[in-house]
DNA sequence: CTGAAAGCGCTAACAA
DNA sequence: TTGTTAGCGCTTTCAG
């Protein structure tokens, strides 16, 4: 008789499934099945087991479950940005909040890795995640031109979902908003309706897929109105270089009367640069941002921007993955709302 | 003879330590010891094993290691804030970046949980982490008045380190800057030197330990100059309610000529509120923030603020924990620099 | 100095 | 229906 395993041994050895089984007067496998809702047991037994588990405060050891089965109940996410860039832009935080809101209630964890932008770092991180079997799947963000991560993950056999615009059609399951182009198009229409004719665009880094995509949407919208862009510029997302770019363009003879930015932090930096030159916003220059970060609402003027529900994107990505992993009761049909223009105070008729 | 385990079996079964052992012509235990630098083996053998491991692209399974030993090589962090609050404030992102910069190179993971502010949620999350043995230790932030997490974690036997000011002396190992009061004191001195006499303070939520602490530092610094505060106000960290508070106080007869805020986002919202009232910053009102978030440098006027190196705090916390967990080659003596005033453009002599 | 053997806590076949 | 058994991949005594 296995009388050696007494429950609650002074707090030294961890409580195991055997302790619960002993207390409930059943076998370990019965406990396992009942807890995981597998076999069919009389309600009385189930109740007894549940009570025993609760009493002993027992939860299956994640390590043992992972070793046995495969599921680690963890999702990986790797941010391949320099910390400094990361810090300036709440993009990730918003996304993560959305992801977590779906993972947490299902007792999934989010394993986060922040690696710099050195070439090999990101790939190594994914390899590790896969080799060490630390996560069941990963969430990819910031799709890049010529992105090699899809192929890598396929090789590694790690399920993945991409948040954003894929580099190539269908390289990996993707979660993105319906009607991507809507918000930016509305922004252009809004500016044109206000009377603007010289409209500039400041995009993000060229290696991001959405940089090219958004610029194209901008151009198309403008063309549809019979206009061509006043200037097409580039900056970093954090907005560190945006000031210089904007200062330069506002000094020109044919300075734009409105600027559309690919991100709120850039827009914010743009507003500051303009003000520094004595150009009032929106009096002397209209500004449109993108993403609708909370900070935009706290500024003066409040930022007119394209709202993208990053948290919802995060939730959708998490749900997609969860469904893909065979999690029960996951509603994967989440429709992500298209980006929409939010008109606030930073746009007005041209001077 | 164990001839059954052939390495590289078509990609089906995962590569195990046995495969490496076979390829290197040694026993599994030898591989284990060599990889972990335990026993003493001839250099030739060590080299052979290393090469075999590399060739097979083998990494120990995290689950197996965790199950066997205890170390999961993961650190937990639970953010008990409402996602919305989290989003508005890059505090966590900065901290996390710092933490990760130390964890990543040592192949430790950061398991992040974002739970709302509902009473039980946070405690449940910690319990889970402990019961499921998902992490080796946790990092605590946002010390709260009457914080019960220390006791909880002690009960759970989970090592922890707190970033910030502890609620009570020595409840848990703490990482904080030396000379906490320095930055805020400098801020007050700076304003007084500029000629300000009516200085207000806008602090954060009362349940945070540092709210009370910072306010006290502010009061002490003022008293030392023979002054008393013009107004003592409270707002949320995200700055959502800051506008109202500032608008109200600026409308008074005895409106302050300078306001010190407990956070940059609050300061930023304060500047906007002032501007909305037609009060120029710094011409009509001087403003000092706290934390030196990147956004402060991109505004006009650039924010005068108390710089706190959050990333360094994060690094220090990670190192402390790593050392505590017996990780080799960890230099725990990291001194975290005291917060210092950074004078930029949002402060000037009173009108 | 090296290898064989015994589990860590759990679950999925198999027996009873 | 329930319990017994055999590992998942690794580390760590303990023999050889």
SS (H, E, C) chain A: CCCCCCCCCCCCCCCCHHHHHHHHCCCHHHHHHHHCCCCCCCHHHHHHHHHHHHHHCCCCCHHHHHHHCCCCCEEEEEEECCHHHHHHCCHHHHHHHHHHHHHHHHCCEEEEEEECCCHHHHHHHHHHHHHCCCCCEEEEECCECCCCHHHHHHHHCCCEEEECCCCCCCCCCEECCCCCCHHHHHHHHHHHHHCCCCEEEEECCCCEHHHHHHHHHHHHHHHHCCCCCCEEEECCCCCCCHHHHHHHHHCCCCCCCEEEECCHHHHHHHHHHHHHCCCCCCCCCEEEEEECCHHHHCCCCCCEEEECCHHHHHHHHHHHHHHHCCCCCCCCCCCCCCCEEECCCCCCCCC
DSSP assignment letter at B335: P
Q: What does the block give as tokens for B233?
A: 């106000």
Q: Supply φ then ψ for residue B284, to 5 degrees.
A: -100, -15
Per domain, the residue ranges of chain B are: 17-67, 74-176+311-324, 182-308
Give the Cα separation of A152 and A137 in Å (integer). Answer: 13
**Interface contact B295-A268, CB threshold 8 A:** yes
pLDDT score, position B10: 32
Give the Cα separation of A92 and A310 in Å (integer). Answer: 9
Contacts made by residues B146-154, CB under 8 angstroms, sequence distance 24+: B147/B171, B147/B209, B148/B123, B149/B122, B149/B123, B152/B123, B152/B126, B152/B127, B153/B126
Nearest residue: Cα versus C1' of C3: B27
**Interface contact A275-B62, CB threshold 8 A:** no
**Interface contact B298-A240, CB threshold 8 A:** yes
Question: Is the pTM value of this prediction over 0.85?
Answer: yes
Give the Cα separation of B301 and B303 in Å (integer). Answer: 6
Quickly tell me which residue has 């530092």 as its tokens.
B217
pLDDT score, position A132: 87
Neighbours of A26 (CB within 10 A): 19
- A182-308: what CATH class? alpha beta
Is the CB of A83 inside 8 Å of chain B's CB atoms? yes
Give the Cα separation of A91 and A113 in Å (integer). Answer: 15
Is the CB of B110 inside 8 Å of chain A's CB atoms? yes
- A207 to chain B, minimum CA–CA distance in Å? 23
| Pair type for strands A304-307 and A340-342 | antiparallel
pLDDT values of chain A reduced to their tens digit, one per residue, 351 residues:
233 333 333 334 678 999 999 889 898 889 999 988 887 888 888 999 999 999 888 889 999 999 887 689 999 999 887 766 666 667 788 888 899 999 988 889 999 988 877 878 888 889 888 888 899 999 998 888 988 888 888 888 889 999 988 888 767 899 999 998 999 999 999 999 999 999 999 999 998 999 999 999 999 999 999 999 999 999 987 777 999 999 999 999 999 999 999 999 999 999 999 999 999 999 999 999 999 998 999 999 999 999 999 999 999 999 999 999 888 778 876 679 999 999 999 999 999
**Are B88 and B265 within 8 A, CB to CB?**
yes
**Are B200 and B260 within 8 A, CB to CB?**
yes
pLDDT score, position A265: 92
Q: Which nucleotides on strand D sit less than 7 A from a protein beta carbon?
A: 1-5, 7-13
pLDDT score, position B88: 64
Give the Cα separation of B213 and B236 in Å (integer). Answer: 16
**Are B263 and B291 within 8 A, CB to CB?**
yes
CATH code of the domain occupying A17-67: 1.10.260
pLDDT score, position B156: 85
SS3 assignment, position B286: strand
Architecture of domain A74-176+311-324: 3-Layer(aba) Sandwich (3.40)
Q: Report angle CA B85, B88, B91 to the nearest 5 degrees.
A: 90
pLDDT score, position B186: 98
SS3 assignment, position B150: helix
Q: State how far Cα A196 lies from the chain centre.
A: 34
Name the residue of chain A whose CA is nearest to B97's CA. Answer: A83
- A11 to chain B, minimum CA–CA distance in Å? 10
Give the Cα separation of B74 and B91 in Å (integer). Answer: 21
Comparing CA positions, the residue from B232, B195, B199, B145 lying closest to residue B348 is B195
pLDDT score, position A267: 96
Strand partners, A75: A110, A137
CA at B67, C1' at C8: how many angstroms apart?
Answer: 5
Is the CB of B61 inside 8 Å of chain A's CB atoms? yes
Name the residue of chain A whose CA is nearest to B95's CA. Answer: A87
Return left, alpha or beta for A170; rule: phi > 0 is left, psi -120 to 50 is alpha, else beta. Answer: left
Give the Cα separation of B64 and B62 in Å (integer). Answer: 6
Mean pLDDT of the residues in chain A = 88
CA atoms within 13 A on the CB side of A280: 9
Neighbours of A205 (CB within 10 A): 15
Residues with CB under 7 A from strand C: A 13-14, 16-18, 28-29, 31-33, 35-36, 38, 58, 60-61, 64-65, 67-69; B 26-30, 39-42, 45, 64, 67-68
Q: Report angle CA B286, B292, B293 to the nearest 5 degrees.
A: 115
pLDDT score, position B84: 66
Q: What does the block give as tokens for B262?
A: 């407990």
Give the Cα separation of A99 and B287 in Å (integer). Answer: 36
User: What is the enclosing helix (H) or strand (E) of B204?
Assistant: none
Please report the beta strands in B36-163, taking only residues with DSSP state E, as ranges in sequence order: 74-80, 109-115, 137-140, 160-163
User: Which residue numbers in chain B have pLDDT < 70?
Assistant: 1-13, 70, 83-89, 170, 333-334
| Pair type for strands A109-115 and B109-115 | antiparallel
Intrachain domains B74-176+311-324 and B182-308 with the same fold: yes
Comparing CA positions, the residue from B291, B264, B270 lying closest to residue B282 is B270
pLDDT score, position B74: 94
Residue A125 CB burial class (10 angstroms; 0-12, 13-18, ≥19): buried
pLDDT score, position B180: 86
């Amino acid at each position: 008789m296995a009388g050696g395993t007494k429950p609650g041994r002074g707090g030294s050895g961890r409580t195991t499934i055997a302790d619960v089984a002993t207390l409930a007067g059943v076998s370990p496998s019965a406990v396992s099945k009942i807890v995981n809702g597998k076999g069919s047991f009389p309600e009385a037994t189930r109740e007894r087991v549940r009570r025993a588990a609760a009493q002993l405060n027992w939860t299956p050891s994640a390590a043992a479950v992972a070793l046995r089965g495969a599921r680690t109940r963890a999702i990986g996410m790797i941010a391949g940005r320099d910390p400094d860039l990361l810090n300036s832009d709440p993009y990730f935080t918003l996304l993560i909040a959305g992801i977590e809101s779906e993972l947490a209630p299902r007792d999934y964890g989010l394993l986060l890795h922040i690696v710099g932008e050195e070439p090999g770092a990101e790939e190594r991180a994914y390899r590790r995640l896969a080799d060490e079997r630390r996560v069941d799947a990963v969430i990819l963000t910031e799709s890049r031109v010529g992105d090699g991560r899809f192929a890598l993950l396929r090789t590694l056999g790690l399920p993945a979902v991409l948040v954003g615009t894929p580099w190539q059609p269908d390289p990996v399951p993707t979660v993105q908003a319906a009607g991507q182009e809507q918000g930016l198009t509305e922004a252009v229409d809004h500016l044109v309706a206000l009377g603007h004719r010289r409209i500039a665009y400041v995009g993000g880094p060229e290696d991001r897929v959405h940089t090219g995509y958004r610029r194209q949407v901008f151009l198309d919208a403008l063309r549809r109105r019979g206009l061509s862009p006043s200037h097409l510029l580039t900056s970093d997302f954090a907005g560190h270089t945006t000031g210089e770019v904007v200062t330069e363009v506002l000094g020109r003879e044919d300075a734009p009367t409105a600027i559309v930015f690919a991100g709120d932090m850039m827009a914010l930096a743009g507003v500051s640069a303009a003000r520094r030159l004595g150009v009032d916003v929106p009096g002397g220059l209209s500004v449109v941002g993108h993403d609708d970060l909370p900070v935009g609402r706290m500024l003066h003027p409040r930022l007119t921007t394209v709202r993208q529900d990053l948290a919802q994107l995060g939730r959708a990505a998490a749900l997609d993955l969860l469904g893909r992993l065979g999690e029960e009761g996951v509603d994967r049909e989440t429709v992500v709302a298209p980006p929409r223009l939010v008109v606030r105070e930073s746009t007005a008729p041209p001077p």
